[in-house]
Amino acid sequence: MGVSTNFLVVWGRKIPWHQQLADLYEENYDDNQAPWVLVDGMSGEYVVMGVKLWDSGDARWGFEDMDPARVIDLAILPAWEKAYKEHFEKYYPTLSHLMYPDFQMHVLAHFS
C-alpha cells in the first residue's frame, strides 16, 4: 500500500481537526455539488476549506493528474471567497462559524 502525496495551493481556512465537519464531508463525499473540503484522514490533524487554486496531482503516479500552471488575478480572490462561504453555509449551516475569520493563502503537502 502506497501513500498518495499532493501539493496544493488553497485560498481558504485551515483549522484543527473538526470531527463534525469530517463526518458531514464523508456523508457528502459523492455529491459533486458539495463544497470542496480536504480532511487529514491519515493523522486527523487538520481540515482545509476553500477554493483549491492548484493541485500537483498525486506524486505516487508521477503527477499525471496535475492541474495546469496558471496565473490567477489576485483581485478575484475576495469574490471567490464570498461565493465559497455562501455555498458552504448552504450545505453546512450549523458550521458557518468555521468560515471566519477571513481566508488566507495556504500552500501545503497532503498525504493520504
Backbone phi and psi for residue 31, each to the nearest 5 degrees, phi listed first: -85, 105
How do the domains of the chain map onto residue ranges? 5-111
pLDDT on residue 4: 78
Residue 74, classified by CB atoms within 10 Å of its CB into exposed (0-12), middle (13-18) or buried (19+), is exposed
**Separation between Cα atoms, residue 29 and residue 64, nearest integer Å:** 23
Residue 107, classified by CB atoms within 10 Å of its CB into exposed (0-12), middle (13-18) or buried (19+), is exposed
- Please write the tens of the pLDDT for every residue from 45-83: 899 999 999 888 766 556 666 667 778 899 999 999 999
Cell (9 digits) for 55: 493541485
